[in-house]
Amino acid sequence: MVEDCEHRLLELQYFISRDWKLDTVLYRKCQGDASRLCHTHGWNETSELMPPGAVFSCLYRHAYRTEEQGRRLSRECRAEVQRILHQRAMDVKLDPALQDKCMIDLGKWCSEKTETGQELECLQDHLDDLVSDCRDIVGNLTELESETEDIRLEPELYEACKSDIKNYCQNVPYGNAQRFCPEADSKNMLQCLKQNKNSEVMDPKCKQMITKRQITQNTDYRLNPVLRKACKADIPKFCQNILNRAKDDTELEGQVISCLKLKYADQRLSPDCEDQIRVIIQESALDYRLDPQLQMHCSEEVAPAEGFSDLAMQVMTSPSKNYILSVITVGICVLFLIGLMCGRITKRVTRELKDR
């Protein structure tokens, strides 16, 4: 009962936090239902006590009731509720099926993410926290995104990287839709942006979005179509035991890529796969977050100090202890000298003012 109440509240939060384009047709077809089931009159008028989203949430809750569960919406009103839901999903580029399966999670994790493209990205960020049905459909959509690799399907990434696309990737195609054309050339816009990510003049926001995408792909090789194509023979040959242990609906946490890295060190990979793993190793050396296994096993070591005592312990156990202490000592001496000079100057100015 408590869990069901929590779900209803999260569902209500989902509707209230979003801008619903409720039109005159909906008002006309659902006015009677709103009055009968939601205890409101004149609900098409703006009211702080009863915002449109709250009434629409009530209508939604009654739209899918069975006869055994009690009073339901009229057929005309139910059709209008479904139409508004579908229309809103299309407006923000959100799959209507995903909206239906993930409404509770959207209310729980993504209440403030209401702009175009933000909801799916928010759900992807909380993939491990989602309920099973929602996690399955988000995982499938994420895999489809990765296979097409058309960054225009990701509004936030595309907007952040518009200027860099002109600078670095003007003649590169946006994506290959490899799900439908598996033999297409894997060189595309996302690959181009990855290759130029460490340029000093790249927009920081674009770099951040590209890094975020790389972290996702390195967590599960299935989300990296270029790697999957290059290593299609190597993965079952060297890493089949990992695939056998993993479930289809769970992330691999970088295990397959770590397996391929070991074989790269032994020089046993095919040339194409070796090229892709070399790039991943180089990128991971610059940013540890791109190595999920390293981050998982060394999270305590790379975590920031929680207090002065923790910081002092890290300094004293560091191999560069003497260098760090020398820098701190020099810094203190410089600050002392600056303070001494400022004190003398102030004293001299004060004395001159008194003499006048």
User: Looking at the domain assignment, is residue 317 inside a domain?
Assistant: no
Based on the domain organization, do 157 and 296 belong to the same domain?
Answer: yes
Find tokens 């967590």 and name the residue: 219
Structure confidence at residue 19 (pLDDT): 52
List Cβ neighbours of 85 (8 Å cut-off, separation of 6 or more): 60, 96, 99, 100
The reported pTM is 0.46
- Cα dihedral 318, 323, 328, 330 in deg (nearest 10): 170
Residue 292 shares a structural domain with residue 174: yes
Q: Of 145, 178, 213, which marks where a domain is finished?
A: 145
158 and 122 share a domain? Answer: no
Over residues 33-62, the pLDDT tens digits come to 888 888 776 665 545 556 667 777 788 788
pLDDT of residue 273: 94
Question: Do 137 and 179 belong to one domain?
Answer: no
Q: What is the mean pLDDT of the chain?
A: 75
Q: Say what the pLDDT of residue 262 is.
A: 92
Query: What is the distance between the alpha carbons of residues 80 and 258, in angstroms, rounded to a whole number?
Result: 51
Examine the domain organization and report whether 140 and 171 are in the same domain.
Answer: no
Let me know whether 281 and 262 are in one domain.
yes
Res 174 pLDDT > 70? no
Residue 313 lies in a domain: no
pLDDT of residue 186: 44
Residue 91 clears pLDDT 70, i.e. is over it: no
How confident is the model over 107-126, as a mean pLDDT? 78
Residue 315: inside a domain: no
* The one-letter amino acid at 241: N
Locate tokens 């801008």: which residue? 19
Answer yes or no: do 140 and 15 share one domain.
yes
**Tell me, what's the pLDDT at 309?**
67
Most confident by average pLDDT, 157-161, 234-238, 244-248, 295-299: 234-238
Higher pLDDT, residue 68 or 328: 328
The answer, yes or no, to whether residue 176 has pLDDT greater than 50, is no
Closest CA to 91 of 19, 27, 145, 151: 19
Is residue 175 pLDDT above 60, yes or no?
no
Higher pLDDT, 185 or 100: 100
Final residue in a domain of this structure, among 100, 125, 145 = 145
Which of the listed ranges 16-25, 146-155, 203-212 does the model predict with the highest average pLDDT?
Answer: 203-212
Question: How far apart (Å, rounded) are the C-alpha atoms in residues 45 and 59?
Answer: 16
Please indicate, yes or no, whether residues 156 and 127 belong to a single structural domain of this protein: no
Query: Do 30 and 123 lie in a common domain?
Result: yes
The answer as to whether 310 is a domain residue is no
Same domain, 34 and 119: yes
In a domain? residue 73: yes
Does residue 334 lie within any of the structural domains? no
CA separation for the pair 40, 197 (Å, rounded) = 54
- Structural domain tally of the chain? 2
Residue 158 belongs to domain spanning: 152-302
Residue 343 lies in a domain: no
Q: Give tens-digit pLDDT for 214-241.
A: 888 888 887 787 888 889 899 999 999 8
* Secondary structure E strands in the chain: none
The reply to whether 224 falls in a domain is: yes
Pick the last residue of a domain from 258, 284, 302. 302
Say if residue 167 is in the same domain as residue 243.
yes
Residue 268 has pLDDT above 80, yes or no: yes
**Mean pLDDT calculated for residue range 343-348:** 63
Q: Is 150 left (phi over 0), alpha (psi -120 to 50) or beta?
A: beta
pLDDT of 269 above 90: yes
Give the residue, 228 or 14, on which the prediction is more confident. Answer: 228
For residues 136 and 243, membership in a common domain is answered with no
Q: Count CB-CB contacts under 10 A for residue 306.
A: 8
* pLDDT confidence of residue 52: 62
